Amino acid sequence: MAADALTLARPDDWHLHLRDGEALSRTVRDAARVFGRAIVMPNLVPPVTTAADALAYRKRVLEARPSGSSFEPLMTLYLTERTAPDEIRRARDTGHVKAVKLYPAGATTNSDAGVRDLGRVDDALDAMADAGMPLLVHGEVTDHDVDIFDREEAFIEGRLRPLLARHPTLRVVFEHVTTRAAVAFVRSQPARVAATITAHHLLLNRNDMLVGGVRPHRYCLPVLKREEDRRALLEAATSGDARFFLGSDSAPHARDRKECASGCAGVYTGHAALELYAEAFDQAGALDRLEGFASHFGADFYGLPRAQARVTLRRAERPVPTELPFAGEALVPFRAGETVAWRVESA
Ligand code: DOR
Ligand code: ZN
């Protein structure tokens, strides 16, 4: 019989969208409830492209923390074809910018300023390799003739392998991997290549989005894949392999932006992220592997200390509201109107 309680070092979220402005009170509170640190995505409008932007954004995030919270936002820069090597060094020197995010232009939400031609960012990538700053990759090609379900796999051979060959010391996180192929690729690489895995990709396959009616709140990018892919992700996450760690990719969009003719990509798991991961690990009979995945391996990869504080998960059904207040609008969270099976006790 699996345990009904689990105490682990306070986890971190290595891939999170906090948004900006009024949205921060929701997203930062939800993250700070459980996570000690989070890698904060830079795809704001306009994007966070300079060290100065990142510091200003960090300040806004810190101001949105609940009183007494020691939640630590770890900032990122948004890579463009104009990112100068000097900007990378300035970002590193702030001490608060921990990584740089690559969005192929057109791949996802607010990626228009992203990279069209990877050949044009080699100088910036060299500066990152020198600075020891990891590149966080949204790994999908955007070619019109590549099927959306094949875009991650096409990125591996077509873009990622050549990029890694051109930059043999650059550290890379293949973000939110969604396919068996991506898991196999990461496993085939040396320790400088790691991957994050979301809770929703561990819990859902594309049938859960498309069978019996389209469910826009389960639409995200990279899009949910086949059951065999979900199983490969679950196997990787629960394997104890330190190259796979927690990155929720919790990405809120107001209800109206999801339930419309051209709905935005993004799933909001921020209200229950750790609990959802616990469900997935429990399904796999691997709760004992959750701490490595959620609390140790990401910190180790980023060269940051493991957390000293601890949190306790207790098996207890918790209802999820049908919607949450979000910057004057409504946000439909993952499992809206249903339950999650765990509760975080001491955070
Ligand atoms: O589903 C997603 N939502 N995937 C991304 O890559 C971006 C994110 C967002 O910012 O909404
Ligand atoms: Zn993301």
| Helix 51-63 vs helix 85-94: crossing angle, to nearest 10 | 30
Task: Report the mean per-residue pLDDT for the chain.
Answer: 97
Mean pLDDT of 112-139: 97
Which CA distances in Å does 139 have to 82, 97, 135, 177, 308? 20, 21, 11, 8, 33
Q: Is the pTM of this model over 0.95?
A: yes
Q: What is the pLDDT of residue 346?
A: 65
138 Cα to the center of ligand 2, angstroms: 8
- Ligand 1 neighbour 254 (Cβ under 6 A): no
77 Cα to the center of ligand 2, angstroms: 13
Q: CA 13, CA 248: separation in Å to the nearest integer?
A: 6
> At 98, which amino acid appears?
K
Q: Which numeric CATH code is attached to 12-306?
A: 3.20.20.140
Assess whether pLDDT exceeds 70 at residue 221.
yes
pLDDT one-digit tens code per residue, 241-272: 999 999 999 999 999 999 999 999 999 999 99
- List the domain boundaries for the chain: 12-306
Assess whether pLDDT exceeds 80 at residue 347.
no
% of the chain exceeding 90 in pLDDT: 97
Token pair 């690990």 in the structure block, residue: 281
Whose C-alpha lies nearest to ligand 1, atom 4?
A: 221
> DSSP letter at 67?
T
Assess whether pLDDT exceeds 80 at residue 137.
yes
Cβ atoms of residues 12 and 312 within 8 Å: no
- Ligand 1 neighbour 230 (Cβ under 6 A): no
